[in-house]
Amino acid sequence: MAQRPVEIPFEALVDPRSDLAALIQEGFGPDGLGIVTVSGVPDFPALRERLLPLTAALAALPDDAKAALEDAASNYNVGWSHGKEALVGGRLDTLKGSFYANPTRDTYDDRAASDVEQYRDYYTPNLWPREQLPELEPALKALGCLMVSVGYLLADRCTAYVNAQLVASGAAAAAAAAAAGAGADAAPSPGAGAGGDQRRGGAGSGCVDFGAALRESACHRARLLHYFPPAPAGGGGGGGGCDGDVDWCGWHYDHGALTALTCAMYLDASGRAVPNPDPSGGLYIKDRAGRTVQAAIPPGHIAFQMGQAMAIQSGGLLHATPHYVRAARPHLAPSISRNTFAVFLQPDTNFEMRPPRGLGSHGLGILGAGGGGGAAASPSKLTAAEASGWRPGMSFGAFAAAVMGTYYDAARRQERERERERARQVLVHAEAE
Ligand SMILES: O=C(O)CCC(=O)C(=O)O
């Protein structure tokens, strides 16, 4: 039975007098499912209906047109990506095609050349199919920017929640005292809440300002996803394979701050929207007790999951969301594709990831390797899995490179093996002649 996530009405999100702490805690806190939805966002339903059908149109472009949209140098973080990323277990991601772009800007001329060189995943200009599918660019930018702007407001509420928790636990005071003792820049800054400003991960107090960090960032990334129709049992092709728990997108955390998601749209072979053909297919989340729960995102809502960066930055007061997508069973979904849109809100590459100070005596910190996700895990600690890839003082760019390396290095290894096998076959063939 699918579970409906905690809902935050948009009017409440924009109302500075509303207190959303209880909803943030219910969604992202120690016992939260790790997902909230925002309802009633003006223009969202129409922009979703405009963009999602274009996903199938993009996937149907001729292969050479899609190949022209590939960019290996950015690890396929701009343009078309199909079968390039390795999922859990090293399996290549051939069951879906993705299109990546930064919805908020096309170019990075204002960035230092050294940053552009070091972080090509983030600072490579967008690639658009302007000839073949001119409608895509404006549709993706309009929906992407809307989802980003709602994400900023939610990030502000997460900041307020974390700050309130820090103050309540005494951690903020402990951090401010320690910083004052060390002569550090403990002066509060506007919008940073009680105790100071850590929006750049500086050496101030224990407080964070997620909204400010995200508003300054040039690193947001939108991903249009087209899950190919599942192939019939025993069949080949790009589908999900056989009946059963076939995952379309293996278990993972997103490594950014917040991920905004639309409800998926299912399209038949003629491009007509149809109801979800298999109620057991779709997005699943592992809750904090270790149970796997299907998350039902209503079509008019924007869903938000928590990424590792914000979980780490909150010192475990907010938790990252482990999730995967289960394929529709082939006999229920012949010729039906799943199309959806994710926007990863991420801090800038030079953002220093540093949990709040002063938490040590309050039980926050990182659990050992055995402490992942189960009922026995302390609810207020990050699990080793949530924090994997991170080391104290790391920038977001270095952290993201460490995480993404695990996806693409495996894919590169497999590509090299395929190359070797092709060369071997050519040799065998030549010797036989
Ligand atoms: O397809 C979905 O609903 C989620 C996609 C996802 O998890 C991702 O792109 O990281």
How high is the pLDDT of residue 207? 62
**CA 364: distance to chain centroid?**
24
Give the tens place of pLDDT for each residue, 211-224.
999 999 999 999 99
Give the tens place of pLDDT for each residue, 16-32.
999 999 999 999 998 89
Is the pLDDT reported for residue 74 higher than 70? yes
Is the pLDDT reported for residue 197 higher than 80? no
Q: What mean pLDDT do residues 315-341 have?
A: 91
Pocket residue to mutate for ligand 1, from 261, 321, 343, most atoms within 8 A of Cβ: 261
| Residue 342 backbone phi and psi in degrees, to 5 | -120, 140
On the CB side of 410, CA atoms within 13 Å amount to: 15
Pocket residue to mutate for ligand 1, from 52, 82, 98, 259, most atoms within 8 A of Cβ: 259
Percent helix, strand, coil in the chain (nearest 5)? 35, 15, 50
Nearest ligand 1 atom, CA 227: 1
How high is the pLDDT of residue 86? 74
How high is the pLDDT of residue 376? 39
Q: What mean pLDDT do residues 173-190 have?
A: 54
Report whether residue 340 contacts ligand 1, using a CB cutoff of 6 Å. yes
Q: Band of the pLDDT at 248, cuts 50, 70, 90?
A: confident
CATH number of 6-415: 2.60.120.330
Is the pLDDT reported for residue 241 higher than 60? no
Q: What mean pLDDT do residues 229-248 have?
A: 54
To 10 degrees, the CA torsion angle through 193, 196, 202, 206?
A: -80
Nearest ligand 1 atom, CA 338: 1
Query: What residues contact 252, with CB distance under 8 A and at least 6 apart?
Result: 87, 88, 322, 323, 324
Is the pLDDT reported for residue 183 higher than 60? no
Burial 10-42 (b: 16+ CB within 10 A, else e): bebbeeeeeebeebbbbbbbeebbbbbbbbbbe
- Ligand 1 centre from 380 Cα, in Å? 26
Report whether residue 52 contacts ligand 1, using a CB cutoff of 6 Å. no
* CA distances from residue 300 to 13, 48, 136, 287, 321 in whole angstroms, order as listed: 16, 9, 21, 24, 22
How high is the pLDDT of residue 374? 40
To 10 degrees, the CA torsion angle through 424, 430, 432, 433?
A: 170
- The tokens of 109 are what? 């001329």
Alpha carbons 95 and 83: distance in angstroms, whole number = 8
| Residue 403 backbone phi and psi in degrees, to 5 | -70, -45
Beta bridge pairs of residue 247: 326
Query: What residues contact 356, with CB distance under 8 A and at least 6 apart?
Result: 162, 166, 171, 172, 175, 198, 205, 206, 207, 208, 314, 315
Alpha carbons 269 and 274: distance in angstroms, whole number = 10
Alpha carbons 58 and 98: distance in angstroms, whole number = 9
- Which residue's CA lies nearest to atom 8 of ligand 1? 342
pTM: 0.85
Report whether residue 285 contacts ligand 1, using a CB cutoff of 6 Å. no
How high is the pLDDT of residue 427? 66
Q: Band of the pLDDT at 178, cuts 50, 70, 90?
A: low
On the CB side of 169, CA atoms within 13 Å amount to: 23
Alpha carbons 423 and 416: distance in angstroms, whole number = 11
How high is the pLDDT of residue 426? 67
| Percent of the chain with pLDDT strictly greater than 70 | 76
Amino acid at 243: D
How high is the pLDDT of residue 167? 84
Is the pLDDT reported for residue 103 higher than 80? yes
How high is the pLDDT of residue 413? 59
Report whether residue 342 contacts ligand 1, using a CB cutoff of 6 Å. yes
> So where are the chain's domains?
6-415
DSSP H or E run through 35:
strand 35-39
The one-character DSSP state at 3 is B
Q: What mean pLDDT do residues 175-184 have?
A: 62
Alpha carbons 346 and 210: distance in angstroms, whole number = 10
- Which residue's CA lies nearest to atom 10 of ligand 1? 254
- Ligand 1 centre from 205 Cα, in Å? 35
Is the pLDDT reported for residue 96 higher than 80? yes
Q: Band of the pLDDT at 384, cuts 50, 70, 90?
A: confident
How high is the pLDDT of residue 254? 95
Is the pLDDT reported for residue 120 higher than 70? yes
How high is the pLDDT of residue 192? 34
How high is the pLDDT of residue 375? 35
How high is the pLDDT of residue 243? 36
Is the pLDDT reported for residue 187 higher than 60? no
Nearest ligand 1 atom, CA 340: 1
Report whether residue 403 contacts ligand 1, using a CB cutoff of 6 Å. no
